[in-house]
Each structure stands twice: as structure tokens, then as C-alpha cells.
Structure 1
């Protein structure tokens, strides 16, 4: 009998991470599209689970996981998981806060600039030969300075997006359901 803990995995892992996990644990890979019943059945002997936020961690899930001690999600948040229920069952819930904060804020900023400056339209104009033919060009877009930008959700990413928009001279407003 193995002394390695039984871990269920419902996410894609890089080969090197998969090898590290398999060296330390007995790993059972579950299909992303596994039914809820199949997932709950697989939880009977699992001491840990690595999953995506697509899986609900509710009372039914924790009741079906008598040996579970740790749940780790690959997401920055843990909204799909009932934390009081996990605590009641002695399960520690882990997540990956901050791992994509700058990447998402940078992507958002680039999308705002692309839309405001009409970069996609102007790039198509140049690639299509319009510039060389001196054809009528699309508008160059608008200046972001002084414009108002709204952010819904003021967590780590929302705060970073706000900083970037303010750096572009924009006024910012925000809303967060958790703000008190």
C-alpha cells in the first residue's frame, strides 16, 4: 500500500509539473467534462484536489469528500467554493492571487488603446495598401485624456487597470459588490 496521498486533478498541467506531482502523490486525472456524479464518486479517497473554478465546491462536494484536506484552484479567486463549508470539513482552500494581475491589466489597457485609437482599422488600411495609394483613411481615433473609464470589480486587477487608465489621463469610476 502506498503512503503517497491520493490527489485528484481536473486541470491541464505542464509536463514538468505533472511529473513533480506524480513523484510525490498518487494522481488521478479526471476529465474536464466528468459528470457531477463521477466527480463526487472520485472524491471518496481523495486527500487533495487541484481543479479549475468550473467545479463547484459546495456542501454536497465536501460531504462526498471525507478524506479531503486541501483544495487548490488555478484561479485567482475562490468564488465557486463555499469557504465556511470547507472550513467545517477541515479543508484548506488555496488559490493563486496575483498570478495574472499585471498580464490582465496590460491586456485590458492594450484593448482600450486599440479601440480608442482605432488601431485595428488603421492597421488594416496600411496593410491593404491604402496608405501607399493615398486613399481616404479611417479616423485616427480619440484622445483618452479627460475621458471617463468605468471599472466593475475593484479587486487586484480592477485596481491595476484603474492605475493604468489614470496614467493615460483618464478619470476613473468603479463599482465593487464587496465594497463597504
Structure 2
């Protein structure tokens, strides 16, 4: 596979500092009506059963403006279901991102066309690549906390080089978005 093809697969459509930057005007501007949400380091610390401060209020704001939401996680349903229940949104566990299985299942539950769906997550090689392979908008958020396990450190190290390149291009082109 050519390097440019790989770069395209892990290039987020949109980059944000925090998921709470997503609001009604942002969603309208990008024609997004449904969000597939990652859990670890997007809505909560890795493995934490509680959402970050402000996430429950953000979910309520999204619900109040009619945004459909579903959690799509590579974690087991046993980890994800109690977390999703706290937020009152459905979930798909064992999503196998970057494969399309979990996103396909989530889209069927959302009943929303792909062109109006987005995935929000903190990892290039799972969330972003998965969204791009599936053909939906991919929104990368800065992780709240970097994991300290070796596998994550290697993955985050690889991501850093790509992110520097994406940010330089974004700054050169006058900002983010599509």
C-alpha cells in the first residue's frame, strides 16, 4: 500500500482539543446528525467507569438538540454497557475498530445515512482509520491522559509524527474542518 494511501486512512477529517467543542453550529456546519463515540480517553480515562467531568452535561446538550449518539468501543460489552447506561445512550462493545463491524452495527441502530454520521475518538489507528475505512467523518480529539502501558506508548509515539504533519498542514491551510 502506498504511503499516501496510508496517510489518507489515518488522517482525521476534523481535529479538536476536546469532545465538548462539538455543538449545534459545528454539527450543522459539517452536516452531522449522529455521533459514534469512543470511550477510553474520549469520554473517560482508560478503564474508568465514570465519565469525565462535563461529559454528562454535554451528552444532555446533544440530546436536547436532537443528535443521535452511540458508543462504539473495542472494549467488551461488560465494560461498555454500564458506562453507556450512566449516560443513557446505547452502545456496541467489541467494535473491532479499525474494522467496520462495530460502526456498521451502530449505524444500523442509529438509522442514519453514513454521510450524516461521524466517529469521535482519540486514536489514529483505531477510531480515525476505522471511520475513514467505513466512509464517515472522523473527528480526532486530544486524549485526556496518555496511557502508560508499552503497547500504548508505541502506538502514541507513531501517532505523534503523523499528528505534527497534520497540524502543520492544518495551520498552513487556515484551520480545521473539512
Both proteins in one fold, TM over 0.5: no
Q: Quick one: higher RCO (CA 8 Å, sep 6+), 1 or 2?
A: 2
TM-score (norm 1): 0.32
TM-score (norm 2): 0.32
**Structure with greater Cα Rg:** 1
